[in-house]
């Protein structure tokens, strides 16, 4: 009886370590599937650029606002995704960049369409050149999309993307 118990225990221990080994192999085989997206955090409510935007645009409801120097001038700019009512289209979602100026003021880019829900912003210096690229992603009714932008001549320019027309 003791021999049977030892054999069962050995088999259970071997099965446990074998399952751990197989799980680790699977994890190493598919690292892209487990790669987590790291989104920029929402700025605090008292962020100066956010407060200025909200004071100038009280009709716009801010959904997401993330800060980074995207103009390569050492000043933090603010990317703002907001919703507002449009008389012809109903509720719309847009992205605007609040560009920080040396005197402490802000200028704004022309609004561009933004994802309707589950919005995220990532900052990546993809080409390792001057301006920081930013990735805007999100969904609309389950359709996902993203676009990679760079500031060119004071406006966000779409460099590459997929599915944005379905989620904006």
Reported as a single tens digit per residue, the pLDDT across 35-89 is: 566 899 999 999 999 999 999 999 999 999 999 999 999 999 999 999 999 999 9
Taking the CB of residue 70, how many other CB atoms lie within 10 A of it? 23
Burial of 44 (0-12, 13-18, 19+ CB in 10 A): exposed
At 5 the three-state DSSP class reads: helix
Mean pLDDT of 14-35: 67
In the chain, the percentage of residues whose pLDDT exceeds 70 is 90
Strand-pairing partners, residue 157, are: 150
Q: What is the pLDDT of residue 120?
A: 97
Q: What is the pLDDT of residue 122?
A: 97
- pLDDT tens per residue across span 132-142: 999 999 999 98
For β-strands 106-108 and 90-100, DSSP reports them as: antiparallel
Of 159, 110, 106, 168, the closest CA to residue 137 belongs to 168
């Amino acid at each position: 009886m003791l021999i049977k118990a030892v054999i069962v225990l050995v088999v259970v221990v071997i099965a446990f370590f074998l399952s751990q080994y197989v799980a680790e192999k699977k994890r190493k085989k598919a690292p892209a599937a487990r790669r987590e997206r790291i989104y920029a955090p929402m700025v605090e409510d008292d962020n100066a650029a956010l407060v200025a935007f909200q004071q100038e645009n009280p009709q716009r409801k801010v959904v997401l606002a993330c800060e980074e120097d995207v103009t390569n001038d050492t000043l933090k700019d603010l990317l703002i995704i907001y919703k507002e009512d449009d008389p012809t289209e109903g509720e719309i979602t847009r992205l605007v960049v609040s560009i920080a100026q040396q005197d402490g003021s802000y200028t704004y880019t022309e609004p561009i369409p933004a994802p309707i829900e589950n919005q995220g912003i990532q900052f990546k210096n993809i080409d390792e050149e001057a301006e920081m690229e930013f990735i805007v992603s999100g969904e609309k009714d389950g359709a996902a999309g993203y676009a990679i932008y760079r500031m060119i001549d004071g406006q966000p320019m779409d460099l590459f993307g997929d599915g944005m027309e379905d989620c904006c």
